């Protein structure tokens, strides 16, 4: 019996040794990626990915197809910050992903003692690669800032913008490309930051058509004063896809490769608002951008694509106590504007009946109790009316929320392309950076 045990242990050790060797061989077989695309769905907890899948089917009983998120899924990641709570924020989580160092909530590109730490974007620049950021928020918002800047507070966006312009790596600009919102942080006045960037050779665009026309690096396209309008409130619901396509087109001309961070910023904002229709619109735009990135990898196999979230927002769940029929995405999808938009429409015309205004923005009618609830709030504080509208859509669609803030649940990890297997399994959010630093031959 003892000898059989020993033989079993020896065989197991031999297999483990063989597996480790094979894994090491596979890493050396495949060269380090020349290009790295790091995509972040801000607030995109696992229920958002599931919601997107079932929304494609529309109603129960219809075929449920695999989505781009399902195709690329390789694991999950924990998100807790350095101190104070298991629940993080975008600043601490972006810093952890970008640098491999846990920090306090609200801190950008620094450790918990407020000492600056190097990011993978900075290392890519040191390695001679082009660098870029794309976001549907201001480009100076917490997540993109975590890859570029160093600040004790995420709210110091003017300081962060100055670093985007003035920070140098090996006597080169830290960034070659920035697309998104945030015009207010880059004044176009004489001597302002936009003017300084132009003097530094940056081609510039100030609307989405202008971004489509950008022709070279370095380039900046800022198309909103702060964050972009929500996807479903515009006639450009795939604006992140447009910016992703342009970023990849411009960066692909760089022989030494590139590092590109892309954020679907407003999934988080919809989650804070507990607005399921808003969230589905942002998820669809992020899915389209992810498809564009995957297509780029297919055409350029020396590229690594990573997609994940910084944290979950809202504690979304696809069920609601007391709702018959389970989760019904068709009801949510039958609402064509966000709760913010419908609130503004209702308050802009206080004399019109709520049902008439609602009919302009949704395919389904309000019942008498819902009309009474809206009428009671129409002349009161705006956010109370907005919350009521979001809750009506959630109740009708069977959507549940546990918070208006973030939650501590793990987030999905997707990877594809060169050495994507290294991100499989369960990770800490500090695990991304060491692997990428190694790929970039960091000290």
- Select which of 3, 90, 155, 368 is catalytic: 90
Phi then psi dihedrals of residue 412, to 5 deg: -70, 155
Query: Could you tell me how many residues make up the chain?
Result: 443
Question: Any idea of the CA torsion for 278, 247, 415, 108, to the nearest 10 degrees?
Answer: -70
Q: How far apart are CA 77 and CA 91, in angstroms?
A: 16
- Position 169 scores a pLDDT of 87
227 Cβ contact partners less than 8 Å away, ≥ 6 residues apart: 136, 137, 138, 141, 181, 265, 266, 269
Residues paired with residue 195 on neighbouring β-strands, in sequence order:
none
What is the per-residue pLDDT across 142-200, written as a single tens digit (0 to 9) for each? 999 999 999 999 999 999 999 999 999 878 899 999 999 999 999 999 999 999 999 99
Specify the pTM: 0.92
Pairing, β 172-173 against β 168-169: antiparallel
User: Could you tell me the maximum CA-CA distance found in the chain, to the nearest angstrom?
Assistant: 89
Residue 90 annotated as catalytic: yes
Extract the tokens encoding 258: 């590139």
Dihedral pair phi/psi, residue 401, rounded to 5°: -135, 145
The residues of the chain scoring below 50 in pLDDT are: 1-29
CB contact set of 335 (below 8 Å; sequence gap of 6+): 277, 361, 362, 363, 364, 393
DSSP 46-83: HHHHHHHHHHHH-STTS-----HHHHHEEEEEE---SS
User: How many other CB atoms are found less than 10 A from the CB of residue 433?
Assistant: 22
pLDDT of residue 323: 78
Res 443: pLDDT = 62
Annotate 229-266 with b (16+ C-beta within 10 A) or e (fewer).
bbbbbeebbbbbbbbbbbbbebbeebeebbbbbbbbbb
CB contact at 8 A, 54 and 327? yes
What mean pLDDT is reported for the chain?
A: 93
pLDDT for the residue numbered 23:
44
């Amino acid at each position: 019996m003892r000898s059989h045990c020993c033989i079993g242990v020896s065989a197991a050790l031999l297999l483990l040794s063989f597996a480790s060797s094979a894994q090491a061989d596979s890493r050396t077989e495949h060269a380090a990626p020349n290009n790295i695309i790091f995509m972040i769905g801000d607030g995109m907890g696992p229920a958002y990915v599931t919601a997107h899948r079932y929304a494609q089917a529309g109603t129960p009983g219809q075929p449920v197809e695999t989505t781009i998120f399902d195709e690329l899924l390789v694991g999950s990641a924990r998100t807790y910050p350095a101190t104070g709570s298991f629940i993080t924020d975008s600043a601490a989580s972006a810093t952890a992903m970008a640098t491999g160092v846990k920090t306090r909530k609200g801190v950008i590109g620094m450790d918990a003692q407020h000492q600056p730490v190097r990011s993978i974007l900075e290392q890519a620049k040191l390695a001679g690669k082009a660098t870029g950021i794309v976001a549907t928020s201001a480009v100076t918002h917490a997540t993109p800032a975590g890859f570029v800047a160093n600040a004790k507070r995420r709210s110091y966006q003017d300081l962060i913008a100055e670093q985007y312009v003035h920070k140098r790596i090996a006597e080169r600009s830290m960034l070659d490309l920035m697309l998104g919102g945030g015009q207010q942080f880059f004044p176009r006045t004489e001597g302002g930051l936009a003017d300084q960037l132009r003097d530094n050779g940056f081609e510039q665009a100030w609307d989405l058509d202008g971004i489509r026309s950008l022709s070279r690096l370095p380039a900046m396209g800022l198309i909103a004063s702060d964050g972009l309008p929500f996807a479903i409130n515009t006639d450009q619901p795939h604006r992140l896809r447009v910016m992703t396509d342009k970023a990849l087109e411009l960066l692909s001309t760089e022989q030494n490769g590139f590092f590109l961070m892309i954020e679907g910023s407003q999934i988080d904002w919809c989650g804070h608002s507990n607005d399921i229709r808003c969230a589905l619109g942002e998820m669809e735009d992020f899915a389209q951008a992810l498809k564009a990135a995957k297509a780029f990898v297919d055409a350029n196999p020396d590229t690594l694509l990573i997609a994940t979230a910084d944290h979950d927002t809202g504690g979304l769940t696809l069920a609601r106590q007391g709702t018959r029929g389970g989760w019904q995405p068709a009801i949510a999808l039958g609402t064509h504007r966000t709760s913010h938009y419908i609130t503004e429409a209702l308050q802009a015309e206080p004399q019109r009946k709520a049902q008439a205004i609602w009919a302009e923005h949704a395919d389904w009618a309000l019942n008498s109790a819902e009309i009474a609830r809206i009428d009671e709030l129409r002349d009161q504080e705006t956010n109370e009316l907005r919350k009521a509208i979001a809750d009506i859509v959630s109740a009708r669609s069977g959507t549940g929320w546990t918070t208006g803030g973030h939650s501590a649940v793990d987030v999905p990890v997707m990877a594809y392309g060169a050495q994507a297997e290294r991100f499989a399994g369960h990770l800490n959010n500090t695990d991304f950076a060491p692997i990428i630093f190694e790929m970039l031959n960091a000290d």
